Structure 1
Amino acid sequence: MDTTQLLKGVLDLAVLAVVRDEDGYGYDIVRRLRDAGIGDVGDASVYGTLRRLYSAGALSSYVVPSDGGPHRKYYAINPQGTRMLDEQTDTWVQFAVAMSGLLHPHAKTQDTAIFRPRPEAGAQR
């Protein structure tokens, strides 16, 4: 299955999840998404998503000087972004549970806990 279409629908959620625990600059966020197993993510898609989330008020940004190159623009999740992340996580969990039920109709339980982030993940903010 081509994951490109799936990724278009959840890239906002993925980016918010990546910056939930640690601020990051564009390429760092791309790398962290790829390290998490989302290898099909394109640089331009992530940069566009960062700009869109920033414009929507879900992220704040700040510039950090660099000794070895250009300054880096870091993005951080803010309270509005945390609310957006929580809402989109709920939507994702409901969708994932429904899909799991379709794909595994004879499973005895539909444990939503496997689709939720670790409780301690957002505890620092």
Structure 2
Amino acid sequence: MSTQARDDSLVHVLMELNRQLVRQLSGDGLPVEQWRVLSLLHANPDGMTMRALGEGLSIAAPSMTKLIDRMVNEALVYRVPNPSDRRNVVILASDKGKALRDEADGRMGKYEERLSSEFQPDDIAKLQAMLGRLLVKP
């Protein structure tokens, strides 16, 4: 495959868009994995168990534990006893985590607006549907 063909490939374009996404988030000092956790917690304001977070993000339990440990150390999330099962904990976003997610979401919104400005609304809907079909479903 020539360099030009490789630069125009779907995989290359998707990887470059992902790099741009990472750059947008890193401007807030927020790794993508942490943004994903905070976004999922935002959608579940009463908190989530480690198992539910791992399943929701498709992250294995050991990796999820390390990620949450880092986020606790950075005061982005905190653990509280699970009121329905005292043997485990619920993860909640801290005020700092919520603020950081809000800032990142603002940057992401601007980034998405810029991307969307290149297309008509119908084209965006088609692109989202086509890319959605590429996602690996469990």
Superposition TM-score tier, normalisation by shorter sequence: 0.5 to 0.7
Is residue 2:103 matched to residue 1:90?
Answer: no
> What is residue 64 of structure 2 aligned with on the other side?
46
In the TM superposition, 1:97-108 aligns within 5 A as: 97-101=113-117, 105-107=118-120
Cα shift at 1:10: 2.3
CA RMSD of aligned residues (A): 3.1
Q: Percent identity?
A: 12
The structure carrying a bigger helix percent of its residues is: 2
Which stretches of structure 1, 4 residues or longer, exceed 4 Å deviation after superposition?
5-9
- Alignment partner of 2:89: what SS? strand
What's the CA shift string for 1:48-84, capped at 9, x where partnerless? Answer: 32222111111111233848xxx21221112111111
Q: Of the two, which has the highest radius of gyration?
A: 2
Which blocks of at least 5 consecutive residues in structure 2 are unaligned? 1-10, 23-30, 122-138
Corresponding pairs, count = 94
Q: Name the residue aligned to 2:131.
A: none
CA distance in 1 between counterparts of 2:110 and 2:68 reads 25
DSSP-derived class of the 2:120 partner? coil
Instruction: Tell me the residue number matched to 1:25.
Output: 49
Residue in structure 2 matched with residue 123 of structure 1 by the alignment: none
